[in-house]
Amino acid sequence: MNKEQKIDASLFDAVQYLQILHQCGADQYDAVTSLVQHAETAGDAAQAFSQAVSDTKLGYSMYDALMRMGETAPSKKLRNFAAGYAKAVRATGSADTFLAETAESLAEEQEIDRKKYLESLNVAGEIYLILFTAAPLFAVIAGMVLSMIADFPLSWLEFLLYAVFPAGTLAFLLLTDNPKDMRNVKKPQANLKEVFPVSS
C-alpha cells in the first residue's frame, strides 16, 4: 500500500481515539498531541497529525494548524477530516458529534468495501473452480479415452499438468492478492480504551 492507502486504512482508529479523548474532557490540542504520541500504535493517520502539532510549536493555533493540514495532508480523506474537525470545534466548541458521525461513516464504508471484496473473491473462486478443476479433469479424462481409442499422444497432458496449472494458479493468486482490499476483509478493531488508557 502507498502512503495514502495506509493513512486511509488507519483513519478509523485515529478518529476513535480522538472521540474517546474528547468524551473524557480533553480539548482539541491535548487530544491531537496525545494521538501523535501514540502514533506507533494508532497508525499512519495518527502520525500524519504530527504536522499539526509541529505547526502549533511554530505559533499557529490548533485550528489554523488543522486547516493547513486540510490543504497539505497526503490523503484526501484525512484532508477532509482535519478541516471538518477544526471547523466543528470552532463552530460548536465540541467535536463529539462530528467524531461520532465520522466514525460511523468510516465503519460503514469499511463494511461496504469488505462485502464488495468478499463478493469478488467468491466470483473469482467459482471461475477458478471451473477453469482449473472441472475443465482440466474433463480434459484429462477425454485425453485418456482418445489415447485408448486412437493412439492419441499424451504429451500435452504433461504440459497441462506442469505448465498450465501452475501458471494459472499463480495468476489467480496475484489477481486476488490485493493489499488495498485485503485490509478490509477482517480488520481487528482494538479496544482503544484499553490500549490508550485515559482519565477524565
Which three-class secondary structure state does DSSP give residue 133? helix
Residues 66, 80 share a domain: yes
What pLDDT does 32 receive? Answer: 97
What total number of domains does the chain contain? Answer: 2
What pLDDT does 28 receive? Answer: 96
Side chain identity, residue 74: P
Q: At which of 83, 108, 133 does a domain end?
A: 108
Residues 80, 63 share a domain: yes
Q: Structural domain of residue 104, as residue ranges?
A: 3-108
Eight-state DSSP code of residue 156: H
What pLDDT does 15 receive? Answer: 96
Inter-residue contact 160 to 139 (CB < 8 Å): yes
Residues 169, 84 share a domain: no
pLDDT per 10-residue tile (average), the chain, 200 residues: 88 94 94 94 91 96 96 95 96 94 93 88 86 80 79 73 80 71 48 50
Residues 39, 71 share a domain: yes
What pLDDT does 35 receive? Answer: 96
Looking up cell 486476488 gives 176
Looking at the domain assignment, is residue 18 inside a domain?
yes
Looking at the domain assignment, is residue 190 inside a domain?
no
Residues 54, 140 share a domain: no
Residues 90, 147 share a domain: no
For the whole model, what pTM was predicted?
0.70
Q: How far is CA 139 from CA 148, 153, 157, 162, in A?
A: 14, 13, 9, 15
Eight-state DSSP code of residue 93: S
Looking at the domain assignment, is residue 193 inside a domain?
no
Residues 148, 87 share a domain: no
Looking at the domain assignment, is residue 141 inside a domain?
yes
Residues 19, 59 share a domain: yes
Looking at the domain assignment, is residue 185 inside a domain?
no
